[in-house]
Amino acid sequence: MEGRIALVTGAAGGIGGAVVRALAEDGMAVAAVDRDAEGLFTTVRKLTADGLVVEAFPADITDRAEVDRVVGEVEERLGPLDHLVNTAGVLRLGEARRLSADDWDTTFAVNATGVFAMSQAVVNRMVPRRRGTVVTVASNAAGTARRHMAAYAASKAAATMFTKCLGLEVAEYGIRCNLVAPGSTDTPMLTSMWHDESGPRGTLDGKPEEYRVGIPLRKLARPDDIADAVVFLLSDRAAHITLHSLTVDGGATLGV
């Protein structure tokens, strides 16, 4: 994928950072987008020190005007976008009947509306060029009910179906839209759910009292595992794949 240009949201996060590195190592110029400016510039400095072509574009993807601005800036500085990867995400835990309005609104603003705004802004530029690919990093929770994760699961389900519907509508322009659905991945988002030393074991073994099975492969995913799936779906090796969700969870949802 030498010479192509990609935009990655959530680039300061564990999965987002891994995706940025993987794409840059594949020869792409990468626009790294995140609202955490400090974390973003730290990530980009490390990558550019390794000789990779990555530029930082701080932006809040929940702000539509900000999204339009940053997409225009990316294309002005780097050139026409070939790829978009939506990895930005937040997690607010709590019982469905006790979630605050802020928990719900913030989760959807980033995980669903952010995907909508960024995808629309980028794809509308891809359509006249009749080429491009989009990958949204969703979650295996989008199709499997989880206790205390109603807002997160619902927002990821919304992002999943939006991405598939978008892909159906723009297929005639040669644009492919797919998803990667990670399970438990070794990132700060996952470890924030662990409250004591039993956390990692519970993730691997499962928790019957939570109606949750463990991970058949007996290991957590690494951010690089998710990045590898993203790279594949963006690549020409996936040229006839669209509207697809690739689950990367070590078997945690039992293939459903």
Alpha carbon distances (Å) from 210 to 98, 111, 198: 17, 24, 14
H or E element at residue 245: strand 245-248
Query: No. of H helices and E strands in the chain?
Result: 9, 9
Q: Dihedral of the CA atoms 8, 28, 229, 170 (nearest 10)? A: 70
Count Cβ atoms below 10 Å from residue 234 Cβ, excluding itself: 27
Provide the CA 45 distance to its chain's centre, in angstroms. 21
Query: Which one of the listed residues 54, 152, 160, 185 is annotated catalytic?
Result: 152
Rounded to an integer, what distance in angstroms lies between the CA atom of residue 134 and that of residue 123?
A: 8
Tokens at 127, concatenated = 């359509």
Assess whether 152 carries a catalytic annotation.
yes
Q: Which residues contact 208 (CB under 8 A, 6 or more apart)?
A: none
Alpha carbon distances (Å) from 181 to 26, 38, 178: 22, 27, 10
| DSSP category for residue 94 | B
Q: With beta carbons less than 8 A apart as the criterion, state whether 181 and 246 touch.
A: yes
Of the candidates 79, 93, 89, 158, the one whose C-alpha atom is nearest the C-alpha of residue 125 is 79
Rounded to an integer, what distance in angstroms lies between the CA atom of residue 181 and that of residue 97?
A: 26
Residues catalogued as catalytic: 152
